[in-house]
Amino acid sequence: MSAVDTGREPFERRELVRQLLRARPDELLVVTGLGSPTYDVAAAGDDPRNFYLWGAMGSAATIGLGLALARPQARVLVVTGDGEMLMALGAFATIGVARPDNLAIAVLDNRAYGETGGQASHTAHGVDLVAMARAAGFNEAAHCDASGGFDAPRRLLHEAPGPVLAVCAIRSGENPRVMPTRDGHHLRARFREAIGVA
C-alpha cells in the first residue's frame, strides 16, 4: 500500500509545541501522549500542570476528557501523536457525546509510528482524523501545517469552544530527548497539588 501525498507543509515538531505553550495561561492543564509529545512538552518547560503519560499509549485523549469534565473551569490540552490517536479512535465518539467545551487535542502527525521504528501509520495511507472527529461531533476540527503559521493552531486549541482537534503536520526525525521524571507517584502528587486536589 503506497502513502498518500497530502501536500501539507510540515512544522518542526519541537518548535510547534513550544509555540503552542508560549505565554501559557495559568488555567491550562496539559496531558501528553507517549514518547515524543512528552519530550516536546517537557522541552517547552516542565510544569506541575503537565501530566505525562509513561507507557499508557492510547490513553491521552480519554484522560484529557476525564480531566476536562472534572475541571470545567480549566482548559485541557492533550498533546499526542498520530499513532496514539489511531489506537484510541473510540475516544472520539465518547468525547463527541460528552462535548466538554474546555477540551482541545493537538495531534502531532508525522504519519509514522515514531516510537517503534518509523513505520508508516494509517494517516500516511489517507486515514483522516479530522473527518473522524467531525463525524463524532467535535465542535471544530482542522488540519494545520506550517504554511498557515502557528497562529491557526494556537487560536483553535486555546480559544475555540471545545471539543476541538488540530491535526498538525510535522516533520519526522529525532530531537534530543528531554526527560521529565518517570516517577508516576511524584507526577500524580504534584499534578494533584497544582490543581488543588488534596
- pTM (predicted TM-score): 0.93
161: nearest Cα among 22, 68, 61, 60: 68
CATH 3.40.50.970 for domain 29-144+161-194 = yes
User: How far is Cα 174 from Cα 163, in angstroms, rounded to an integer?
Assistant: 30
Cα 116 from chain centroid (whole Å): 19
Phi, psi of 167 (to 5 degrees): -95, 110
Strand partners of residue 50: 30
User: What is the residue-averaged pLDDT of the chain?
Assistant: 90
pLDDT in tens, 105-137: 999 998 766 665 556 567 777 889 999 999 999
Pairing between β-strand 50-52 and β-strand 75-81 as defined by DSSP bridges: unpaired
Res. 56: pLDDT tops 90: no
| Helix or strand holding residue 84 (H, E) | helix 82-87
Give the C-alpha separation, 18 to 1, whole Å: 34
Residue 84 and residue 80: Cα distance in Å, rounded?
7
Going by pLDDT thresholds of 50, 70 and 90, the confidence category of residue 67 is: very high
Instruction: Please tell me the predicted confidence (pLDDT) of residue 3.
Output: 66
